[in-house]
């Protein structure tokens, strides 16, 4: 079992099919708090299991309060089961408090041809020519598991460039290939793009919507993230992920608060 699969494992509670027990892994954290994309993947795993569907096609999550590493539970409520897709509400609870509330549309992608793609994969330096996110001047526990390489022209360290866009590559350190669930993590594994605007520190996500557009081929994932507006202490961030074949496999948009130091 890969490190990611182990860290996102869910166990349906005996006698209670609407509750899954989980053990949140603090090793997938930023500043001691589990990464938002990692948490989305945990809930998506429970939701897809609840309706026996392989893929989380769309996940919309509202972050209510940050959980800690350790025991927690996911409570699921199946809103609809259909021939093409099913809808599940999945909520993460810890210490009798709701931490993350999601709505998951689950179904199956068959890997058919791409009929239209408006966002081709960007031309990037090779991973060896890129800079490791681990070079940042603060510890990010998540990077013990995820190898994030940033295009040097978009790296926010040592000096921000004033343009809130970051692109590069990522993969798991243990050599496991990313699956559909791992893409929920991939859209949230890059540094906040507002670092380029001098807004450093933990930038907590308030809402994140993830779209699965394809099951990724083995190998490195390419990514690009960019912000369009920073105002009143809030910013948006769009992320796009391509697999090693150049196919667009994931998209996301999130609303977050600027860094708090």
Q: Evaluate whether residue 243 is within a structural domain.
A: yes
Same domain, 240 and 185: yes
- Rounded alpha-carbon distances, angstroms, from residue 6 to 2, 91, 164: 6, 20, 34
Same domain, 152 and 50: no
Same domain, 158 and 238: yes
Q: Evaluate whether residue 160 is within a structural domain.
A: yes
CA distance 232 to 177: 39
Q: Evaluate whether residue 210 is within a structural domain.
A: yes
Number of domains in the chain: 2
* Domain stop point among 56, 73, 107: 107
CB of 170 closer than 8 Å to CB of 146: yes
User: Which of 212, 181, 210, 214 has the alpha carbon at shortest distance from 111?
Assistant: 214
The secondary element (H helix, E strand) that includes residue 40 is helix 36-50
- Rounded alpha-carbon distances, angstroms, from residue 20 to 16, 69, 141, 157, 225: 8, 16, 25, 40, 32
Helix or strand or coil: residue 18?
strand
Q: How confident is the model at residue 137 (pLDDT cuts 50, 70, 90)?
A: low
Same domain, 145 and 93: no
Q: How many of the other CB atoms lie within 10 Å of CB of 78?
A: 16
CA distance 111 to 109: 6
Percent of the chain with pLDDT over 90: 90
Q: In this predicted model, what pLDDT tens digit does every residue of 10-52 receive, in sequence order?
A: 999 999 999 999 999 999 998 889 999 999 999 999 999 999 9
Q: Give 91's strand partners.
A: 75, 101
Q: How confident is the model at residue 89 (pLDDT cuts 50, 70, 90)?
A: very high
CB of 123 closer than 8 Å to CB of 151: no
Per the structure block, which two tokens stand in for 46? 């429970």
Provide the domain limits for residue 234: 127-257
What CATH number does residue 134 fall under? 2.40.160.210
pLDDT at 152 over 80: yes
Same domain, 131 and 53: no
The DSSP output letter for 27 is: G
pLDDT of residue 139: 79
Q: Evaluate whether residue 250 is within a structural domain.
A: yes
Q: Give 250's strand partners.
A: 212, 241
Q: In this predicted model, what pLDDT tens digit does every residue of 210-224 receive, in sequence order?
A: 999 999 999 999 999
pLDDT of residue 201: 82
Residues 6 or more apart whose Cβ sits within 8 Å of residue 104: 43, 44, 47, 48, 56, 58, 59, 87, 88, 89, 90
User: Which of 98, 165, 155, 159 has the alpha carbon at shortest distance from 131?
Assistant: 155
pLDDT at 107 over 90: yes
Instruction: Say if strands 165-172 and 221-226 run parallel, antiparallel, or are unpaired.
Output: antiparallel
CB of 148 closer than 8 Å to CB of 138: no
Same domain, 84 and 142: no
pTM summary value: 0.95
- Rounded alpha-carbon distances, angstroms, from residue 105 to 21, 164, 200: 21, 30, 34
């Amino acid at each position: 079992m890969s490190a990611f699969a182990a860290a996102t494992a869910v166990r349906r509670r005996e006698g209670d099919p609407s509750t899954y027990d989980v053990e949140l892994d603090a090793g997938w954290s930023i500043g001691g708090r589990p990464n938002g994309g990692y948490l989305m993947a945990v809930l998506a795993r429970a939701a897809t299991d609840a309706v026996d569907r392989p893929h989380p096609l769309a996940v919309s999550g509202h972050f209510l309060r940050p959980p800690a590493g350790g025991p927690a539970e996911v409570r699921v409520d199946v809103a609809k089961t259909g021939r093409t897709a099913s809808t599940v509400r999945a909520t993460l609870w810890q210490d009798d408090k709701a931490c993350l509330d999601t709505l998951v549309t689950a179904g199956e992608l068959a890997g058919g041809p791409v009929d239209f793609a408006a966002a081709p994969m960007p031309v990037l330096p090779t991973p060896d020519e890129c800079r490791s996110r681990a070079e940042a001047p603060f510890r990010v526990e998540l990077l013990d598991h995820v190898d994030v390489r940033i295009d040097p022209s978009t790296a926010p360290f040592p000096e921000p460039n004033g343009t809130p866009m970051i692109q590069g590559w990522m993969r798991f350190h243990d050599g496991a290939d990313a699956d559909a669930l791992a893409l929920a993590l991939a859209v949230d594994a890059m540094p906040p793009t507002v670092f380029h605007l001098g807004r450093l520190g933990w930038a907590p996500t308030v809402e994140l919507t993830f779209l699965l557009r394809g099951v990724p081929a083995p190998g490195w994932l390419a990514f690009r993230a960019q912000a369009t507006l920073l105002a009143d202490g809030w910013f948006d961030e769009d992320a796009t992920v391509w697999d090693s074949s150049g196919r667009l496999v994931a998209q996301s948009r999130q609303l977050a608060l600027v860094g708090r130091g």
